[in-house]
Structure 1
Amino acid sequence: MQNSSQWAEMTSSSENCSFTAINSLAWSLQLGLSIPTFILGLALNSLALFVFCCFWRKQTKTSVYMISLVLADILLLLSLPPKLYYSVTKVPGLLCSLIQAPYFVNTYTSIFIIVCITVDRYICIRHPFEGRANQSPRWAVVICCFIWAAAWICSIPIYVFQKKEPIKCFHNMSDQTWSVPFIVSVEVFGFLIPLAVMVFCSAQTIWILLNHKTHDKKSVEESGSLRVIVINLVVFLVCFTPVHLGILLQCLVRQHLIVSCRMRQAISLFLQVSMTFANLNCCLDAFFYYFAAKEFCKKAHLRRAIELCPVLNPCALRWHCQRWENAPCQDTDSAVPDVAGPVP
């Protein structure tokens, strides 16, 4: 009887738990993070798309991946204003689905394209001759189309499971959306497997570069490969780990494994803020474009783009172009040294 009474009290407390203050705080934090992310990210990605399409005349696998990544980031950024507005305004469930689907589709498209770039870089460094000989963009186009198609197909549950009555988007999703099989699939296939591939390829590539560094320190330092690999992995971990941890915790809440009001409020705030924090990846992807600029300087006439776009810093970019013109360039997003050592 005592256990039944305690359970009834916990259930009653759970039902009376208010999220009004939490949602208001979360929306203020989202607004403060999303506005600069939207402005800076849209400017950087629009410039990158212009440069990739107009000045990278020889298309390679990496250029295809990067153009796809830029498009995914731009579409994700364009979904931020309606996401912010409709997260505090009630609209029919179908409209919420049309708003939520592009946001999640472009998020996971970005994740998988980043993984493809990492794998491509690993292959070019682990097998440099085969990697350079196989730079046809055809397979990259096929892979990118498959990623986009798979992401949209996997977004079908957002439409099927959505509530029909007016709701605030990104809130109060149906129980089917938070079902254990669906969330486990999102966690495993949308984050854990890409993370495992990222860690493996990055670790193997770093090992090869560090071994090569003892023999030819200058070439590796000039290439910048080691730096961009580490930055890429750190950005991936920092941007996408919190949001998937938040999704897992929210699933436990919806399965009534976490019933404490204070814990539920904390998890709700953490999930909403971590989703916004993950959007910073759209700005941090600019590191890819910065190191790819070496390719433009030598093969795509980036200095012409600088002359056409006076808002860029000509002095700084000219110094980098002059420095990179003396460094080896390959058809990858960063220079790849001629190494192919044993991997543990």
Structure 2
Amino acid sequence: MNSTTNSPPRVNMNCSFESIDQIMKSLEMVIYIPVFVFGVFLNIAALVVFCSRLKKWTEASIYMTNLALMDLILLLQLPFKLHARDNKWPAHMITFCSFLESLYFMGMYGSIYTIACISIDRYIGLCHPLKAKWLRSKKKARIVCAGIWAFVVLASTPVYTFHETVQEDFRCFHGFSKKGWKTGLIICLEVFGFLLPALVLVTCSVQSIRALNKSHSANTVEKQSGTRIIYSNICAFLIPFTPSHVAIFLQYLVRSEHISDCEDTKKIALFVQLTMSLSNITSCLDAICYYFVVKEVRGTSRLIKRSLSRMKSSSASEN
């Protein structure tokens, strides 16, 4: 879904995208190289901390470990993407190309669902501290993460059908066939891949902020810190993923020939490639947020303990 230069819609056969490709060739170098270097370093460092430095596993550390792994999956395809920008690949590498393309979707949507699960876990801890004892557990967190992996692997399998059978050299990450732009597939991608997780994230975050503000167990500094962290998590989710999913929908309109004007198509092509490139920045944003999330979890744990103590004290005094 990264380019319209190959297999363009029939109405745009006379529309040249060479200028778009030249612009993106420079921009992708500027974006991908720093993102890959810093993203790999930060996420590996996070895994080292989670797996060897933490004294014990918690639900939050399990989810964050899963998020770091998803980010590394997303980063893995970037060097190949840069190579494919200027080089055609032999026909026998079509399956490997599809595998790399599937890594992009696995990493992106694995990150999206993991972040949504982190927001649900936070919501349960803050808004339902009594129920948290049986709603939250390390075993359940591992099961949820395993489910996310199974889902994104299964959901990425259609990518292997997005390229037509080729008999000559081809450009990987470019020229998806019409199979990649079916209406049902795009609707599922937009609704289940972005809109629903975003709704869950925003709803849980708003409720968590309300719970923080109403809490008698948290002081003003803890409330302000917790609120800032929640807002930063929302931004880290919406900023990379909202433009890219708007771009996917616009490109769908082009591929389905609802938009056929050459200049509009070229603008959309640039927007698609730019937003898809920038969406990889989520791997760095997530890594930077790990410190704040750990800090939040510690504060949340203290709040839960205080809330439970107050509830038990109130029950004892009433009896």
Q: The TM-score by the shorter chain falls in which range?
A: 0.7 to 0.9
Aligned to 1:40: 38
Letter matched to residue 99 of structure 1? L
Take 1:216 and 1:260, find their aligned partners in 2: how far apart are those partners? 57
- For the pair 1:187 / 2:158, whether they are aligned, the reply is no
Verify the 8 A CA contact 1:72 1:109 in the aligned structure 2: yes
Aligned to 2:257: 256
Superimposed CA distance per residue, residues 17-52 of structure 1 (whole angstroms, 9 cap, x where no aligned partner): 011120121121111011111111111111111010
Take 2:113 and 2:213, find their aligned partners in 1: how far apart are those partners? 26
Superimposed CA distance per residue, residues 55-110 of structure 1 (whole angstroms, 9 cap, x where no aligned partner): 11311211111111011111211221112212332223323202201111111101
Superimposed CA distance per residue, residues 105-163 of structure 1 (whole angstroms, 9 cap, x where no aligned partner): 11110110000001100110001233256542111111111111111111111112322
- For the pair 1:239 / 2:240, whether they are aligned, the reply is yes
Structure 1 residue 218, shift from structure 2 partner: 3.8
* Cα separation, partners in 2 of 1:203 and 1:294, compared to 1, 3 Å: closer
Verify the 8 A CA contact 1:225 1:336 in the aligned structure 2: no
* Cα separation, partners in 2 of 1:244 and 1:61, compared to 1, 3 Å: same
- For the pair 1:67 / 2:65, whether they are aligned, the reply is yes
- 3-state SS of the aligned residue for 2:180? coil
Aligned to 2:301: 330
Aligned to 1:300: none
Aligned to 1:78: 76
Verify the 8 A CA contact 1:60 1:135 in the aligned structure 2: no
* Cα separation, partners in 2 of 1:113 and 1:136, compared to 1, 3 Å: same
Pairing of 1:290-329 with structure 2 (within 5 A): 290-294=291-295
Take 1:48 and 1:192, find their aligned partners in 2: how far apart are those partners? 28
Aligned to 2:199: 196
Pairing of 1:1-344 with structure 2 (within 5 A): 14-91=12-89, 92=91, 93-132=94-133, 135-165=136-166, 166-212=169-215, 216-221=219-224, 224-294=225-295, 330=301, 338=306
Superimposed CA distance per residue, residues 302-335 of structure 1 (whole angstroms, 9 cap, x where no aligned partner): xxxxxxxxxxxxxxxxxxxxxxxxx85629xxx7
Take 2:206 and 2:296, find their aligned partners in 1: how far apart are those partners? 24
- 3-state SS of the aligned residue for 2:131? helix
Take 1:257 and 1:242, find their aligned partners in 2: how far apart are those partners? 20
When normalised by structure 2's length, the TM-score is: 0.85
Take 2:218 and 2:67, find their aligned partners in 1: how far apart are those partners? 35
Corresponding residue pairs, total: 295
Superimposed CA distance per residue, residues 207-234 of structure 1 (whole angstroms, 9 cap, x where no aligned partner): 222233798424424xx32111100001
Take 1:17 and 1:194, find their aligned partners in 2: how far apart are those partners? 36
Superimposed CA distance per residue, residues 173-193 of structure 1 (whole angstroms, 9 cap, x where no aligned partner): 010111111111101110011
Structure 1 residue 256, shift from structure 2 partner: 0.6
Letter matched to residue 96 of structure 1? C
- 3-state SS of the aligned residue for 1:59? coil
Verify the 8 A CA contact 2:67 2:111 in the aligned structure 1: yes
Letter matched to residue 47 of structure 1? A
Letter matched to residue 49 of structure 1? L
Verify the 8 A CA contact 2:163 2:175 in the aligned structure 1: no
- 3-state SS of the aligned residue for 1:162? coil
Take 2:304 and 2:86, find their aligned partners in 1: how far apart are those partners? 48
Structure 1 residue 13, shift from structure 2 partner: 6.7
When normalised by structure 1's length, the TM-score is: 0.79
Percent pairwise identity: 38
Letter matched to residue 233 of structure 1? I
Letter matched to residue 110 of structure 2? T
Letter matched to residue 28 of structure 1? S
Take 1:286 and 1:158, find their aligned partners in 2: how far apart are those partners? 27
Task: Name whichever of 37-46 and 247-256 sits farther off.
Answer: 37-46
- 3-state SS of the aligned residue for 1:203? helix
* Cα separation, partners in 2 of 1:215 and 1:61, compared to 1, 3 Å: closer
Letter matched to residue 104 of structure 1? F
**Higher relative contact order by CA 8 Å / sep ≥ 6: 1 or 2?**
2
Verify the 8 A CA contact 1:228 1:287 in the aligned structure 2: no
